[in-house]
């Protein structure tokens, strides 16, 4: 029953996975072969299946083709931007990733992905602007609004016809997110099909939340990556029965003679030691410019692509070396310095504000670039990497850790809001789900992991760390072998970041507000 798309040549394992998933969807009333839909069965039990494979095995290609087939069958993609009135016969699909950066990797490949949080929580639109959204979606008449001219509405329509984004269309009309989104609420309406990419990053609580929302869940994951901290090395898809795990073995991207993937997959050899692996990297660097045997860390790359390390002490030392190289003052940040969101420091009574910040992309692990101080004390203007509306201004607590000291130095802070750590270097655990064009891996840390002799889920920890770190590189891998930092070639910059600064104001309100 191989009814996979004729325009692509699937490997045998991809074709088998396609058939199994087509059967799964047919049981849910979605026939991607004959492009036919049945009304959802609200009484049916939920279904979960996982597509597993290492980097380059074709998981993303399979996800993209399944998305096209579901769209052709009449299934509507829910992006978290805006949802019109639910029709009884409507069938829905959401493609999700744990972080904005991971979602943006899929969007760059033409897959309309959003974050898990944007589906768990849905926006509440101002009723006036909801009329525009209904008109753009084709379920309402062209509105007449005093606030917007006909020319502004025409701009919104032209944008939406090109890019199916309600917030983007409203922005084209001259509106800001804070104009038309009045709050966020926990999703009450269920959805039909959920595709979850980078599912090795899912923790059990997220998995349980998703099972409550979706009747059919398909997890796409790499079993060779690192499990979430606190889950004893086990990933949620590994708890599924074997018959619900579809494995992809063929490495498709190897056909492009990719030396980075060759190195990543060489780590599967149980007899491979660290020194032997380093010799492979050095030899690959002599054959291919996409692999670099680097004598020092390139500080110019650190502002957009953090150095990947194992140990926190290494991370802190590299951050201070980066700041010193740029003559950054101890008491303030320079525009262009990279940050990592470390969560939200808000009391429970500010739940609505927490949801608002998280839904805008300021979730734990989000990568940001500091653009400058906000208009109010304690606020920062930020560019959230990978977010669909990246420029925000938020109440911020920026922490710069010091080696050997428990308490970090805080150059400035609001009383409460989004907390940030410096992002010039990050741990390999935190890098999961992200990709950068150029990736620097700090090899002395992996050597330390190898010497420690630690294992995770039956594999040497250094091999898991090396595999995750290497596969973050889209084009070039720099394997840094010395504890040195090259001087920057120029000052930090922000002019390469798209969008106008900070059109959204996200503030942590007090009860008095």
The single-letter DSSP state of residue 362 is -
Give tens-digit pLDDT for 408-433: 666 655 567 788 899 999 999 888 87
Q: Is 222 exposed, middle or buried (0-12, 13-18, 19+ CB in 10 A)?
A: buried
Q: Kindly tell me if the per-residue pLDDT of 18 is higher than 80.
A: yes
Contact 457, 379 (CB under 8 A): no
Tokens of 40: 């959802």
Compare 236 and 252 and report the one with higher pLDDT: 236
Helix (H) or strand (E) holding 85: none
> Whose structure tokens read 């602007």?
129
pTM comes to 0.75
pLDDT at 242: 93
Could you tell me if residue 66 is left (phi over 0), alpha (psi between -120 and 50 degrees) or otherwise beta?
A: alpha
Smallest CA-to-CA distance from 315 within 227, 403, 206 is with 403
Give the C-alpha separation, 335 to 332, whole Å. Answer: 10
In the chain, the N- to C-terminal Cα span, in Å, equals 61
Residue 364's region, left for phi above 0, alpha for psi from -120 to 50, else beta, is beta
On the question of pLDDT at 454 being above 90, the answer is no
What tokens were used for 97?
A: 């990733």
DSSP class of residue 189? S
* Residue 459 to residues 277, 434, 449, 465, Cα–Cα distance (Å): 15, 23, 12, 10
Q: pLDDT above 90 covers what percent of the chain?
A: 43
Q: What is the pLDDT of residue 83?
A: 64
Question: Is the predicted pLDDT of residue 351 greater than 80, yes or no?
Answer: no
| pLDDT in the model for residue 298 | 96
Instruction: Tell me which range, 28-37, 137-146, 450-459, is most confidently predicted by mean pLDDT.
Output: 28-37
User: Angle 69-70-72 (CA atoms, 0-180°, nearest 5)?
Assistant: 65
CA distance 380 to 383: 10
Q: pLDDT at position 232, please? A: 59
Q: Is the pLDDT of residue 231 over 70?
A: no
The pairing of beta strand 121-125 with beta strand 181-186: antiparallel
Single out the residue of 172, 168, 181 nearest to residue 148, CA to CA.
172
Q: pLDDT tens for residues 465-498? A: 999 999 999 999 999 999 999 999 999 999 888 6
pLDDT, tens digit, for every residue of 287-299?
Answer: 999 999 999 999 9
330 confidence band (pLDDT: 50, 70, 90): confident
The backbone torsions φ and ψ at residue 121, rounded to the nearest 5 degrees and listed phi first, read -120, 130
Specify the pLDDT at position 415.
61
């Amino acid at each position: 029953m191989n009814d996979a798309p004729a325009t692509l040549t699937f490997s045998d394992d991809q074709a088998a996975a396609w058939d199994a998933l087509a059967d799964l969807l047919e049981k849910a009333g979605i026939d991607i072969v004959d492009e036919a839909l049945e009304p959802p069965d609200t009484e049916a039990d939920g279904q979960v299946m996982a597509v597993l494979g290492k980097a380059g095995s074709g998981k993303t290609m399979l996800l993209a083709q399944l998305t096209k087939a579901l769209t052709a069958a009449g299934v509507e993609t829910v992006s978290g931007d805006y949802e019109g009135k639910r029709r009884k016969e409507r069938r829905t699909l959401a493609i999700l990733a744990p972080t904005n950066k991971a979602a943006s990797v899929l969007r760059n490949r033409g897959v309309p992905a959003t974050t898990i949080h944007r589906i768990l929580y849905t926006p509440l639109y101002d009723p006036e602007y909801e009329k525009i959204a209904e008109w753009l979606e084709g379920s309402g008449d062209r509105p007449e609004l005093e606030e917007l001219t006909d020319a502004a509405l025409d701009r919104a329509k032209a944008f939406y016809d090109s890019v199916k984004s309600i917030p983007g269309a409203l922005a084209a009309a001259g509106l800001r997110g804070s104009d038309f989104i009045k709050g966020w609420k926990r999703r009450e309406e269920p959805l039909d099909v959920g595709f979850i990419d980078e599912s090795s990053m899912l923790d059990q609580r997220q998995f349980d939340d998703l099972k409550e929302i979706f009747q059919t869940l398909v997890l796409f994951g790499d079993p060779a990556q690192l499990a979430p901290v606190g889950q004893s090395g086990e990933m949620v898809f590994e708890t599924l029965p074997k018959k619900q795990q579809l494995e992809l073995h063929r490495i498709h991207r190897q056909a492009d003679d990719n030396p980075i993937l060759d190195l990543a997959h060489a780590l599967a050899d149980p007899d491979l030691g660290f020194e032997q692996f380093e010799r492979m990297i050095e030899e690959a660097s002599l054959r291919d410019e996409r692999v670099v045997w680097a004598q020092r860390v390139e500080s110019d790359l650190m502002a957009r692509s953090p150095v990947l390390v194992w140990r926190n002490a290494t991370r802190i030392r590299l951050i201070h070396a980066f700041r010193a190289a740029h003559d950054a003052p101890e008491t303030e940040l320079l525009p262009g310095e990279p940050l990592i969101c470390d969560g939200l420091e808000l009391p429970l009574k500010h739940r609505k504000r927490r949801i608002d910040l998280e839904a805008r992309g300021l979730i734990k692990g989000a990568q940001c670039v500091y653009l400058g101080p906000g208009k109010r004390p304690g606020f920062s203007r930020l560019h959230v990497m990978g977010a669909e509306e990246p420029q925000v201004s938020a109440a911020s607590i920026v922490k710069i850790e010091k080696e050997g000291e428990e308490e970090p130095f805080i150059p400035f802070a609001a009383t409460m809001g989004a907390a940030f750590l410096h992002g010039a270097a990050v741990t390999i655990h935190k890098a999961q789900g992200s990709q950068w064009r150029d990736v620097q891996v700090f090899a002395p840390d992996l050597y330390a992991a190898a010497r420690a002799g630690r294992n995770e889920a039956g594999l040497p920890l250094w091999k898991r760390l090396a595999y995750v770190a290497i596969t973050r590189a889209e084009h070039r891998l720099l394997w840094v072998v010395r504890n040195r930092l090259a001087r920057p070639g120029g000052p930090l910059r922000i002019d390469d970041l798209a969008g106008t600064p900070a059109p959204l104001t996200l503030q942590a309100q007090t009860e008095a507000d």
